[in-house]
Amino acid sequence: MRFAAYEHHDRRRLAVVDDHGVLYPVPGVRSLTEVIAAGDGTGALLDLGAATLDVPPGPHISEVRLLPPLQPASVRDFVTFEEHVEGVRRSVEGTGGVPEQWYAAPTFYFTNPHALYASGDDIPMPPGSAVLDFELEVAAVIGREGRDLTPEQARENIIGYTVFNDWSARDLQSAEMKVGLGPCKGKDTATTLGPVLVTADELDPYRDDDGFLRLALTAEVNGEIVGEDLLSNMSWTFEEMVAYASRGTRVVPGDVLGSGTCGNGGCLAELWGVRGEKTPPPLKPGDTVTLTVEGIGTVSNTVVPGADPVPLPTGRRRPRERP
């Protein structure tokens, strides 16, 4: 089942989306966030969706302004595609290969849950950046709390999936990575989620024998295909990612876990690393990025001019006085 959050006639609603794109508004519910926060899992969401299909239909999805499917409790972004790591390290860090430590565990960082955009929204250039990039990912959404989960248990904690675009200011990222704390403002200003949340059961037919979701992924810039991959090229399953995320802590309803960027052109920086030149060029105002994931849908955003950075001084070299 598919759920969309949208705005129509100045009202924000949650709806079930049928196979023809018709929206069936969920009675008495304004957002998927509040439904997921109840922590009742996929079964309760499916029951809610089935009951909603008995209500009168609303507008077509093309007639409304889409919103991000949910407001996440947190956003963890993983890096699970080996091919992506190889290309981006050359481009962003100036090194080659894949660090041996990468194979030890599905590494992630926390990104900004307050900078979400929906399909159709304009994406402002990050302040101070001239090298903007997209990143084609899929995200799993947690629907039930868990701690120290096994991968087998973790499957019951995933309520659904959505398309995830991790917009990246590569020039800012390259500079701040030298500090050793990972990306911050290079990843802080925009993340696209959408167009819908697809419940986990809908994607089960795409699972291969190893438990990976074999979904076709396509990235386009201004209508030209620049990347194609399979989600099943991940080195860890979503269940394994959730298990690792829950190690020694909790995953809670509304947490979002990004797959990391796919390979073979899942972002421009990977292509720059492989080709040794910025071809295609960095994104600029007026460029439109369209990402499609089989079984989930398509998100599309156009880049627009952003704000100028507010000036700040450089760090002071203080005298290190002691009390």
Could you tell me if 262 and 229 are in contact, meaning their C-beta atoms sit under 8 angstroms apart? yes
Given this model, what pLDDT does residue 39 score? Answer: 83
CA atoms within 13 A on the CB side of 66: 30
Which residues are within 8 A (CB) of 85 and not within 5 positions of it... i.e. 6 or more apart? 79, 98, 99, 102
Share the mean pLDDT of the chain: 96
Examine the domain organization and report whether 60 and 145 are in the same domain: no
Let me know if residue 31 belongs to a domain.
yes
Residue 98 and residue 20 in one domain: no
Do 132 and 9 fall into the same domain?
A: no
Is residue 247 very low, low, confident or very high in pLDDT (cuts 50, 70, 90)? very high
Q: Are residues 44 and 146 in the same domain?
A: no
pLDDT at 273: 92
Q: What tens digit of pLDDT does each residue of 180-233 get?
A: 998 999 999 999 999 999 999 999 999 999 999 999 999 999 999 999 999 999
In-domain check, residue 230: yes
Q: Which residue segment(s) compose the domain that 79 sits in?
A: 75-304
User: Do 7 and 148 fall within a single domain?
Assistant: no
* Alpha carbon separation from 203 to 115, 217, 263, 293, 297 (Å, rounded): 27, 14, 21, 11, 12
Task: Answer for the pair 69, 4: CB distance below 8 angstroms, yes or no.
Answer: yes
Coil, helix or strand for 206? Answer: helix
Structure tokens at 239: 């269940």
108 and 209: one domain? yes
Last residue of a domain, one of 13, 41, 67: 67
170 and 236 belong to one structural domain? yes
Distance CA 135, CA 18 (A): 28
**Would 317 be classed as within a structural domain?**
no
The model's pTM? 0.97
Percent of the residues in the chain that have a pLDDT greater than 90, as a whole number: 94
Confidence of residue 95 (pLDDT cuts 50, 70, 90): confident
Into how many domains does the chain fold?
A: 2
Co-location of 30 and 86 in the same domain = no
pLDDT at 141 over 80: yes
pLDDT digit string, tens, across residues 161-188: 999 999 999 999 999 989 999 899 999 9
Per-residue pLDDT at 150? 98
Residue 184 included in any domain:
yes
Considering the domain architecture, whether residues 32 and 91 belong to the same structural domain is answered as no
Domain co-membership, 169 together with 270: yes
My answer on whether 167 and 289 are in the same domain is yes
Q: Are residues 204 and 268 in the same domain?
A: yes
